[in-house]
Structure 1
Amino acid sequence: MDRGKKPSNLFGKNSKIYMDLKDIVRENALPFLPAKSLRRCRGVCRDWKLTISTPFFAHNQSNSFNHVSGFFVQTAPGVPSFVSLDPTVYGVPDPSLSFLPEPVDIRSSSNGLLCCQGRTGYRAYYICNPVTKQWRKLPKPEADHGTDPVVVLIFEPSLLNFIAEYKLICAFPSELDGIEFEIFSSENGSWRISADICFGEASLIPTSGVYVNGTVYWLSSRGLLALDLTTERSKILYHGPGTLGVMNKKLCAAYLHGNQRLNVSLLSNTHSNTMQMHSQAKTWVSLKPSINPNLPVPVATNNCYAGEYDYYTPIRSEVRDGVLFVDGDVVLIRAGGTLYSYDMKKKTTATLGEVDSRARIFGYVNSLVELNTSS
């Protein structure tokens, strides 16, 4: 009896559960794309262009996209440049950062934001997003951070914070023969010097700082300097060999052993130096087996930190061959004057180009994060 009736359209255009494909992509895919790709997507249709241009979308994208997209490279006193992991997908409109009011040196990077330092006057710090060209000049610090400051920028995207909230942590030599810490918070817009002092002489590597789970770590001539930002207490830990990075949401250290083996260790116990003698607890646990990145050229130097650091030898600032950067699945290696990226998940190696041995490298996330530019 019902053969002549047409089936009802449960998913008709007037139904709330019906969505065009372009709407599905707009709502569920666009926020997970990098900034450069989103610029192209603005040309798809007027609806997409309006959506991508809203502050709410920028906030959503900065929380959804967190992949390492490439590296800012700078050799003092040169102009910054950008090396993309995939030029068709990742990029910035002005890699030289000429939109800033003066020439700068990049000091740190975090989830789409850069910390730069000016070269004139009191050498002010700037926080900027190289995609949107938004920037903010920070007030003058209370302490003297030196000519090559040891700073770490911390920005953790949060759905609860519509405007980016960040901190800048600087470790500087104390007059009391130790290391002190000055902290800038964007929330209150001011600097303050922490009450904690890490006593004892220690030389720090300026670009070695890494932030993981509430703690900042730096390589030093005494070992691994750790500052817990919750308690604002510092201590020296044993440092296994390697350039510091983040893997599996833990602090890691990676280095090349021999010619082709990549060794990675994860920090598993920060209290081993206070435990009883003969304890079996290990500070660092190595990933097994070691990895072969299949580099096309031999590595000139077995490295512990960028070819120049281990626990017992003095620090040198010049970067040579070895592991330069580790974050998630991405490992950056310099061999024979050329940069190579190794994807630990896909187990593939890509050639990125030649780089000066003295260049400093900063990992970068291609984000639309909105920056509060008011003082």
Structure 2
Amino acid sequence: MDKGKMLPNFCANNNCKMYMDLKDIIRENALRYLPAKSLFRCTGVCREWELQISTPFFAHNQSNSFRSTSGFFYQTQAGVPSFMSLDPMAYGVPDPSLTFLPEPVDIRASCNGLLCCQGRTEYRAYYICNPVSKRWKELPKPDADHGPDPAVVLLFEPSLLNFIARYKLVCAFPSELGGYEFDIYSSENGSWRNPGEICFGDWKLLPKSGVHVNGTVYWLSSQGVIAFDLTSERSQLLSSAPGALGMMNGKLCAAYVRGQRLVVSLLSNTHSNTMRLHSDARTWVEIQSDVSLDATVAAESYSYTPYHFSGRYGHGPGGVVFIGDDTVLLRNGNKFYSYDMKKKVSNSLGEVNIDTDAGIVVYVNSLVEL
């Protein structure tokens, strides 16, 4: 009889224990997969979660676990940095205008949670920062003059073995001998280096078009795609890309809008321009043209001619601005739309007062430590 009376209390205690175990499992194994903004909201759940999220070790784990596209940084027509979130409830930064930096800046590049900005005063210093933690570092002055609108690409791949971010900044700039030279900054060495490579040609490079894929940096130009291999430190000119450059499944891709279809091509052969006449080898191979866009989005973003060079980051009345794995950003004037390749759904991001000459850089809402 006594044992029967004690049974309900015994079950209640088990339920309490199970709840506590589940809470610990979420804290230890699930939190690190959330974006930074969501994590700051989670600090109000309990003191244990707040302490967990505030540790450097957790920030390190989160920067390695969370890699999703969260939104895009851009420059307003007033020249002020701003942030366009794919989901304002989940992704965001405390100071999108980046006023924590020592001077007004222009946004140049981004990679896995880090932003590269350039100051507007003195010698236009480069800054690497995390807009979530507001921590930043000023890079040393390069020996070469990179000009007023440098073509820079930021390279940063989070590693479980490195608690401090190790990154590179690659800049292509006009050479006095003609063509373009390349400067490389390494955070590990804390200095700039010029490998001596010059990509000769009578063409103009598109500064905001840079993409890094598998150890090679690519830019659009008036004559084709410029590729700079970071291992061999050699450059080459590829045939023109059929759209905006991006990365899909770990490979360089290009995308544009044709009618109501999103057309995606992959880089297939980097040596097709050296093949024999009438060869079947093609630099770009179309892999996807069956992605049907919403009629409104397609009408707004339609671009009959594939991505072409117009002297600035433009592609006709509208088209693809960014493509990266499952996320596509489309633009028509100041109207922006996102398209999820996995879910096959589009979303209006609204109308923003953007500087048409400024670049738009993708951003990952990370806690990465500088």
TM-score (norm 2): 0.90
Where does structure 1 lack aligned partners over 5 or more consecutive residues? Answer: none
The offset of 1:284, in angstroms, is: 1.3
Contact residue 79 and residue 355 of structure 2 kept, 8 A: no
> 1:213-263 deviations in whole A, cap 9, x for unaligned?
0000000112100000011010001123100011111111001113x2211
Quote the Cα distance in structure 2 between the aligned partners of 1:148 and 1:219: 15
1:349 aligns with 2:335: no
Rate the CA distance shift 1:303–1:368 in 2: closer, same or farther, 3 A: farther
> 1:44-79 deviations in whole A, cap 9, x for unaligned?
111111111111111110010000001112145511
1:21-40 superposed matches below 5 A: 21-40=22-41
The offset of 1:26, in angstroms, is: 1.3
1:214-293 superposed matches below 5 A: 214-258=215-259, 260-293=260-293
Number of the residue aligned with 2:365: 366
| SS of equivalent to 2:196 | strand
1:70-219 superposed matches below 5 A: 70-75=71-76, 78-219=79-220
The offset of 1:295, in angstroms, is: 4.3
The offset of 1:273, in angstroms, is: 2.2
1:304 aligns with 2:306: yes
User: Would you tell me which structure has more helix in proportion to its own residues?
Assistant: 2
Contact residue 313 and residue 359 of structure 2 kept, 8 A: no
> 1:299-352 deviations in whole A, cap 9, x for unaligned?
3643533xxx25xxx534456411111111110001363100000100001010
The letter of the residue matching 1:119 is R
Quote the Cα distance in structure 2 between the aligned partners of 1:264 and 1:182: 31
Quote the Cα distance in structure 2 between the aligned partners of 1:19 and 1:233: 57
The letter of the residue matching 2:367 is L
> 1:13-50 deviations in whole A, cap 9, x for unaligned?
9xxx9970011111221111000000011111111111
Quote the Cα distance in structure 1 between the aligned partners of 2:145 and 2:177: 14
Quote the Cα distance in structure 2 between the aligned partners of 1:302 and 1:135: 42
The offset of 1:181, in angstroms, is: 0.1
Quote the Cα distance in structure 2 between the aligned partners of 1:329 and 1:244: 14
Quote the Cα distance in structure 1 between the aligned partners of 2:355 and 2:56: 40
Quote the Cα distance in structure 2 between the aligned partners of 1:322 and 1:222: 20
The alignment-based identity, stated in percent, is: 67
Quote the Cα distance in structure 2 between the aligned partners of 1:132 and 1:41: 16
| SS of equivalent to 1:360 | coil
Quote the Cα distance in structure 2 between the aligned partners of 1:244 and 1:295: 24
Contact residue 139 and residue 190 of structure 1 kept, 8 A: yes
Q: Which 10-residue stretch deviates more, 353-362 or 43-52?
A: 353-362
Contact residue 204 and residue 218 of structure 1 kept, 8 A: yes
Q: Which 10-residue stretch deviates more, 35-44 or 275-284?
A: 275-284
Contact residue 264 and residue 290 of structure 1 kept, 8 A: no
Contact residue 75 and residue 355 of structure 2 kept, 8 A: no
Contact residue 339 and residue 353 of structure 1 kept, 8 A: yes
The letter of the residue matching 1:304 is P
Quote the Cα distance in structure 1 between the aligned partners of 2:126 and 2:252: 27
Rate the CA distance shift 1:276–1:301 in 2: closer, same or farther, 3 A: closer
TM-score (norm 1): 0.89
Quote the Cα distance in structure 2 between the aligned partners of 1:18 and 1:348: 36
The letter of the residue matching 1:293 is L
| SS of equivalent to 2:195 | strand
1:315 aligns with 2:317: no
Q: Which 10-residue stretch deviates more, 21-30 or 164-173?
A: 21-30
| SS of equivalent to 1:163 | coil
1:35-46 superposed matches below 5 A: 35-46=36-47
1:329 aligns with 2:326: yes
| SS of equivalent to 1:207 | helix
How many pairs does the alignment contain? Answer: 353
| SS of equivalent to 2:323 | strand
Contact residue 245 and residue 326 of structure 1 kept, 8 A: yes
Rate the CA distance shift 1:336–1:99 in 2: closer, same or farther, 3 A: closer
> 1:125-183 deviations in whole A, cap 9, x for unaligned?
00000000000001101100000111001111111111000000000111111210001
Quote the Cα distance in structure 2 between the aligned partners of 1:214 and 1:146: 25
Quote the Cα distance in structure 1 between the aligned partners of 2:267 and 2:81: 32
The offset of 1:274, in angstroms, is: 2.7
The letter of the residue matching 1:57 is F
Q: Which 10-residue stretch deviates more, 86-95 or 263-272?
A: 263-272
Number of the residue aligned with 1:49: 50
Rate the CA distance shift 1:19–1:249 in 2: closer, same or farther, 3 A: farther
Quote the Cα distance in structure 1 between the aligned partners of 2:75 and 2:280: 43
